[in-house]
């Protein structure tokens, strides 16, 4: 089927024209960085092949037999660990919801040029690894250290800077018990694109913090000011502003698409009558307090029923009974966390398109 086989119920293309055509570069990024199809919201744990991916540069080729991790810088003892040494350490398995800070970017007007996520840059996996804290204790943190710097094996150019992918964390954040050096995802060794053989996993933070293909961990005396700290991941309106660093995941709920899709527009076709809408909601470190659904484009809201969270670091299921009547409807869902943060209805715009957690809208035709 091509989009020329148009069904007149599903108008084509208006949304894209509002914000300008998508570019070849955005398409190129979108093929490399797949999203989680939203129907996968039905699984409590996202099957690995449906979990989203975000890789800035190339997926590096790593031979685990010769790979090692160095833990150095301001430590009493530099450690060099191979994968067997890491696997021999105490292991923890945690269900963690990970989301890219750029999720929602392609819905922004004007649209910042980067990976064009609509709403699919999220997934929940069971990750197995060893707590970073224990490794740092074994190395012994010197008094002068203020941050832990993580370096991946992947290199590339961004913002005119040749770089390895690097992010840092304060010592307090890096030594929280849930921060893992992870080597398994959903019970299997990490796949190459998810960071094989070892990645950092920082539950609660947007995904950029969970550095893949770890090569080096260093205790440093000054806050790290590399590109991935000072440029992409800041909340700011202009490039002259220093802005605020992006950190914990903002509150969000999403809906599993109801009914059946139109092939080209993805507009939903639903049969009139009672239907259970379902989805999941999450927030960085706070718990989800409430999920509300609107079936009239945001004019009125009613509470959804919440399921228990999968883990303290993972999403909660929600459901809502709707009796649909024939016509065009815009469904919407929004979550509130225990800190009282509620998803906005309007976009939250920044130059790099991060942290846009505006409420999802789903167009439905009921017949
Ligand atoms: N080394 C390295 N780590 C990285 C990245 C990267 O490009 N290189 N991308 C980050 C970003 S922006 C996200 S959202 C997550 C995505 O993890 P995933 O691809 O396993 O879903 O990895 C993070 N870790
Ligand atoms: Mo990301």
Q: pTM for this structure? A: 0.96
Neighbours of 183 (CB within 10 A): 21
- If you take atom 21 of ligand 1, which residue's CA is the nearest one? 53
- If you take atom 24 of ligand 1, which residue's CA is the nearest one? 211
Task: State if residue 29 touches ligand 1 by the CB under 6 angstroms criterion.
Answer: no
Task: State if residue 196 touches ligand 1 by the CB under 6 angstroms criterion.
Answer: no
Give CA–CA dist 210/180, Å, rounded. 9
pLDDT digits (tens, 9 = 90+) for 80-136: 999 999 999 999 999 999 999 999 999 999 999 999 999 999 999 999 999 999 999
- Mean pLDDT, residues 64-77 taken together: 98
pLDDT at 1 over 60: no
Task: State if residue 52 touches ligand 1 by the CB under 6 angstroms criterion.
Answer: yes
- Mean pLDDT, residues 335-343 taken together: 98
* Helix residue ranges, H only, 121-175: 132-139, 171-174
Could you tell me if 304 and 293 are in contact, meaning their C-beta atoms sit under 8 angstroms apart?
Answer: yes
In the chain, pLDDT over 90 holds for what percent of residues?
92
pLDDT at 340 over 60: yes
- Mean pLDDT, residues 313-326 taken together: 98
Task: State if residue 152 touches ligand 1 by the CB under 6 angstroms criterion.
Answer: yes
85 Cα: distance to centroid of ligand 1 (angstroms): 24
* Cis before 223 (ω within 30): no
How confident is the model at residue 133, as a pLDDT? Answer: 98
Angle at 86 between CA 83 and CA 90, to 5 degrees: 150
Give the chain's domains with CATH numbers. 3-245 (3.90.420.10), 252-366 (2.60.40.650)
Give CA–CA dist 320/333, Å, rounded. 10
How confident is the model at residue 21, as a pLDDT? Answer: 87
Could you tell me if 340 and 121 are in contact, meaning their C-beta atoms sit under 8 angstroms apart?
Answer: no
In three-state secondary structure terms, 167 is strand
pLDDT digits (tens, 9 = 90+) for 42-64: 999 999 999 999 999 999 999 99
Helix (H) or strand (E) holding 280: strand 273-282
Task: State if residue 56 touches ligand 1 by the CB under 6 angstroms criterion.
Answer: yes
pLDDT at 19 over 70: no
pLDDT band at 329 (very low <50, low <70, confident <90, very high): very high
207 Cα: distance to centroid of ligand 2 (angstroms): 5
Give CA–CA dist 98/118, Å, rounded. 16
Mean pLDDT of the chain: 95
């Amino acid at each position: 089927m091509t989009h020329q086989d148009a069904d007149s119920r599903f108008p084509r293309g208006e949304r894209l024209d509002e914000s300008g055509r998508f570019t070849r570069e955005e398409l190129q990024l979108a093929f490399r960085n797949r999203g989680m199809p939203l129907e996968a919201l039905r699984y409590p744990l996202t099957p690995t092949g449906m979990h989203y991916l975000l890789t800035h540069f190339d997926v590096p080729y790593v031979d685990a037999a010769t790979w090692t991790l160095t833990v150095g810088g301001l430590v009493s003892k530099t450690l060099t660990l191979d994968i067997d040494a890491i696997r021999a350490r105490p292991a923890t398995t945690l269900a963690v919801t990970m989301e890219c800070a750029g999720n929602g970017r392609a819905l922004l007007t004007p649209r910042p040029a980067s990976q064009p996520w609509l709403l699919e840059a999220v997934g929940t996996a069971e990750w197995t690894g060893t707590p970073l804290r224990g490794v740092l204790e074994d190395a012994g943190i010197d008094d002068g250290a203020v941050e832990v710097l993580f370096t991946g094996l992947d290199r590339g150019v961004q913002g005119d800077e040749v770089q390895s992918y690097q992010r840092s964390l304060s010592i307090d954040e890096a030594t929280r018990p849930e921060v893992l050096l992870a080597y398994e995802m959903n019970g299997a060794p990490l796949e190459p694109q998810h960071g094989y053989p070892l990645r950092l996993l920082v539950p609660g933070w947007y995904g950029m913090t969970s550095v893949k293909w770890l090569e080096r961990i260093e205790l440093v005396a000054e806050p790290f000011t590399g590109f991935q700290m000072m440029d992409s991941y800041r909340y700011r309106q202009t490039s002259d502003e220093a802005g605020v660093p992006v950190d914990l995941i903002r509150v969000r709920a999403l809906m599993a698409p109801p009914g059946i899709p139109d092939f080209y527009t993805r507009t939903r076709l639903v049969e009139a009558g009672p239907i259970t809408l379902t989805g999941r909601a999450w927030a960085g470190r706070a718990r989800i307090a409430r999920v509300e659904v609107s079936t009239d484009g945001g004019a009125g809201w009613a509470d959804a029923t919440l399921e228990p969270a999968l883990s303290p670091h993972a999403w909660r299921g929600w459901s809502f009974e709707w009796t649909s009547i024939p016509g065009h409807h815009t469904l919407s869902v929004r979550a509130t966390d225990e800190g009282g943060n509620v998803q906005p209805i309007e976009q939250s715009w920044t130059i790099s398109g991060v942290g846009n957690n505006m409420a999802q809208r789903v167009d439905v035709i009921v017949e």
